[in-house]
Structure 1
Amino acid sequence: MKTRIDSPQRDRWALLRFAIIGPLLAAPPAPGELAPALEALAARTWRHPLTGEPVQFGFSTLERWYYTVRAAVNPVITLRNRLRSNVGQFPSLTPLVIETLTIQYREHPGWTAQLHYDNLKAALQGQDVTLPSYPTIRRYLKAHGLFRQSRPKRATAGAIAARDRLERLEVRSYEVEHTAALWHLDFHHGSRKVLTRAGTWETPMLLGIIDDHSRLLCHLQWYLDETAESLIHGLCQAIMKRGRPRALMTDNGAAMVAEETTNGLAMLGVLHQTTLPYSPHQNGKQECFWGQIEGRLLPMLEGEEGLTLGALNRATQAWVEREYHRSRHSEIGTTPLARYLEGPNVARECPSVTELSRAFRIEVQRRQRRSDGTVSLDGKRFEIPARYRTLPEVTLRYARWDLIQIDLVEPRTGTVLCPIHPLDKSAHADGARRALAPAPDLSPLPASGMAPLLRQLLAEYAATGSPSLYLPKEETR
């Protein structure tokens, strides 16, 4: 059975008036019979279109309705309530009241309408001005978009700038047209603690990477920290499973803007887009997904005592692959897995595991110690191959959490020259040394007479013919 949809208020009045006057239009009364017909209608009781209570209409009102619609093309539209000439205006608010209220709102945007009204009444006390009622002030604030603003948790420049931008520019939902055109990445603080091997309870962090077009979870994994190492560990798995995306959107967290992260995305040809500070709505698809984690996944683990990180990750993977990816998404009208497979895909092939892991590193310059051909990196010394012993400074590429894979690179082209390893003093204790590659003979030679430059200066001085500028003194000894 279809649900009856009530007519708008304007149409209810128009339909009632037409129901009253309509019979006179369908069967026009004879000359001299209009007045008795209108008097008969005025004596009847009708049902109020809004409240349902009995109501009557006067003779003059019915007569005005009749003559209004008699020549109208559409009588129902003609019988609608007419808008007031000053609709949307506030004639009871004088310019002084409006100016005072506007300044007050700009100074205190977090006040309620009642607080604005009370302070406005106090500010205008003693002045020759009539203050309108509280409902009028409240309607004026709403009509002009002067809504109550929440106070930022931290009144920093970024929070204030984000609030001002939200007021100036509209917020619209968006969606890219291709799969893998845009991924969203974020961390979420879980509400359920896990038991670690150290016997402590820790709050896990959920790394989620979601495809914007299909809402498919490219990767989802719990960690015990929110570091760049954990982020890259999960991001590499997402790329290995779904390919390289065209763009990645994150917030401005320390792990997201770490140099390893930004360098790796640039090396892989992935555009890194960050949201504005204090603007989580720009990553709204990710924020919306966390609601399913807290409202569906974690409640199913309430009876699991001594939950470990491994058990939590296994349950999360099973839930994502068997339920979330196969459940209809109300926003896209199908399942994330179906849309991912059907939609146009612009993902690129995943590089090799070695190339992928070595992309997320930083480059630093270190001065080589000439005495033993080593450099210092994060408090440890590493050996530089002897063939590069003439370089005063070397460029190294590494990840700060992994001192196993450190490469010496050519700074002008970025080409990897060779890997370097930590200094092993015990291995050098046997006294054996590797012979250096043949080099030009640079052994010292005895000096041969006067230097060429000084001989040239003496010749030029003698050629001028100038007398000597000193008086020789005869030696008596």
Structure 2
Amino acid sequence: MSTSKHASVHDRWAHLRFSVVGQLLAAPPAKGELRAELKKLAQRTWQHPITGAPVRFAVSTIERWLLQARREKRDPVGVLRRKVRADAGIQHVVLAVREALRTQYGEHPSWSVQLHYDNLRAVAEHDRALAPVPSYSSIRRLFEAQGWRKRRRLSSRDTVGAERAEARLAAREVRSYEAPYVGSLWHWDGHGGSRQVLTARGEWITPVLIGVIDDRSRLACHLQWYLTEDAEGVAHALSQAIQKRGLPRAGMSDNGQANLATEISEGLARLGIVHDTTLAYSPYMNGKIESLWTNVEGRLMAMLEGVRDLTLASLNEATQAWCEYEYNRALHSETGQTPLARYLAGPDVLRPSPDSDALRLAFTRTDQRLQRRSDGTLVIATRRFEIPNRYRHLRQLHVRYAQWDLSQMHLLDERSGKILCRLYPQDKQSNARGVRRPLEPLATTAPESASRHEAPRASASMAPLLVKLMAQQTATGLPPAYLPMAGPSSTEGEES
């Protein structure tokens, strides 16, 4: 009788015993010939089910197996299993030792069983109720039976959040999950790389990879390296992921400062994306993107080991190629499909992506400032911006801007939240010429569009010919033939 190699010890013994007596059950011997058949079986050599060594069984043993199999009509193989000991699974540990170990484990769940045992012996030297101390094997079996497994500390810091997370992990089960639709949930996070890059300033810096992944399909929506993990990088990566794949319905990130920035939270709300964060010290909630980092380090970074002068631009170029042509097209062990195929198969709840200007305007913060009546200006980050004189009657102003890009400053209508006009920094050298514009009529009603409130400027619009030439350049699909100078921002220059 063939037995699977994965069968338990008890099943192996049952199958062997049934193979010994099975012939007698299939073809019962004639009356008076049973003893002779049992002697023949006793003279045969069988293979031990555990060691594989040759073994023989006595006549009385084979006869007992035969009687057991004859009595059992429904499961003759199961009745031949080895009997379970009556005290199996019972640890002969007194109640005082159990309670002492329970208390000790509750205070130190990160200790090993050996460390618990050694500390128990030390306590038993002063407490006779714990003596004699059971053997280490008994203590280890007690830990296994009670489910007292060694748990790694979630944080080395003894904070209230870490203690609350450990208590929750001990009291609540952890279950994997999957969104029912493509675009229903995205995950994003930052990952500190294992390689350094050489910057234009001659500095070695460890970059941060910001990645966005779809929960259902596991598709890497966008991966990009940045010199620092900040709100600007998160907004930049999310904008590119949205432009590539579409607008999702919800997103999840950790509680990092960059993910909780005002520009990010307000931008996601404007785009209709529900933003959830993982619980403190609970990275397993974002496990899908944590698993992505393993692939990045195990394959992408491993293939870059021989590159010495690694720059941020070359690293990003290699990352895009690896992401699109290997990771997104490799068979996923859990879904049985490639992320790209699963993404295209749907079903999806994605929405069309806004244009670049709308996304750039979405990831901004709303703030309030008082207008200085003397010269019609307001101050943002030590910089003074001029207010069009048609809004000179407003005392409190509502503006939208991103801290990393003060060139895009917009004035809002307090009631509707619509953009009234764009604000520009104060040009004191131009004001020194003594030319002053006449006062315009006060804006008492909210305009239908920002363009109607924009003051006429000589450079407000491009010439039609230049617009045509730029459209022709864009239609070629080629980047403009120039190299931008690296600015103070970590995003510009390096990614080009």
Q: TM-score interval w.r.t. the shorter chain? A: 0.7 to 0.9
SS of the residue corresponding to residue 307 of structure 2 reads: coil
Q: Residues 274-293 of structure 1 correspond to what in structure 2 (within 5 A)?
A: 274-293=277-296
RMSD: 2.6
**1:327 maps to 2:330:** yes
Report deviation, 1:233.
1.2
Q: Residues 373-392 of structure 1 correspond to what in structure 2 (within 5 A)?
A: 373-392=376-395
Q: 2:419 aligns with which of 386, 398, 416?
A: 416
What's 1:445 paired with? none
- Aligned residue identity for 1:190: G
What's 1:318 paired with? 321
Q: Residues 60-139 of structure 1 correspond to what in structure 2 (within 5 A)?
A: 61-73=61-73, 74-90=75-91, 92-125=92-125, 126-127=128-129, 129-139=131-141
Q: Which runs of 5+ in 1 are unaligned?
A: 440-477
What's 1:467 paired with? none
Q: Residues 96 and 129 of structure 2 are in contact (CA less than 8 Å); yes or no, is this contact kept in structure 1?
A: no
SS of the residue corresponding to residue 71 of structure 2 reads: coil
Give the distance between the partners of 2:12 and 2:199, measured in 1 at CA: 67
Give the distance between the partners of 1:3 and 1:127, measured in 2 at CA: 49
Report deviation, 1:33.
6.2
Report deviation, 1:123.
2.6
Give the distance between the partners of 2:283 and 2:32, measured in 1 at CA: 74
Report deviation, 1:198.
0.8
What's 2:474 paired with? none
**1:393 maps to 2:401:** no
Larger displacement relative to structure 2 (430-439 or 176-185): 430-439
Give the distance between the partners of 1:193 and 1:316, measured in 2 at CA: 15
Give the distance between the partners of 1:267 and 1:419, measured in 2 at CA: 19
What's 2:463 paired with? none
- TM-score, normalised with respect to structure 1: 0.84
Q: 2:224 aligns with which of 221, 228, 237?
A: 221
CA deviation vs aligned residue, 1:202-231 (integer Å, no higher than 9, x gap): 111112111222222211111111111111
Report deviation, 1:56.
5.3
- Aligned residue identity for 1:427: S
Report deviation, 1:279.
1.7
What's 2:51 paired with? 51
Report deviation, 1:343.
1.9
Give the distance between the partners of 1:249 and 1:293, measured in 2 at CA: 20
- Aligned residue identity for 2:288: K
CA change 1:47–1:433 in 2 (3 A) is closer
SS of the residue corresponding to residue 188 of structure 2 reads: strand
Give the distance between the partners of 1:260 and 1:70, measured in 2 at CA: 78
CA change 1:289–1:54 in 2 (3 A) is same
- Aligned residue identity for 1:320: C
Q: Residues 3 and 12 of structure 2 are in contact (CA less than 8 Å); yes or no, is this contact kept in structure 1?
A: no
What is the aligned-residue identity percentage? 53
Q: 1:259 aligns with which of 256, 262, 279?
A: 262
Report deviation, 1:30.
6.1
Report deviation, 1:177.
2.5
Report deviation, 1:50.
1.5
Give the distance between the partners of 1:53 and 1:240, measured in 2 at CA: 67
Give the distance between the partners of 2:441 and 2:309, measured in 1 at CA: 65
Report deviation, 1:281.
1.7
Say how many residue pairs are matched.
437
SS of the residue corresponding to residue 368 of structure 2 reads: strand
State which structure, 1 or 2, has the greater radius of gyration over its C-alpha atoms.
Answer: 1
What's 2:148 paired with? 146
Q: 2:186 aligns with which of 180, 183, 188?
A: 183
CA change 1:292–1:135 in 2 (3 A) is same
- TM-score, normalised with respect to structure 2: 0.81
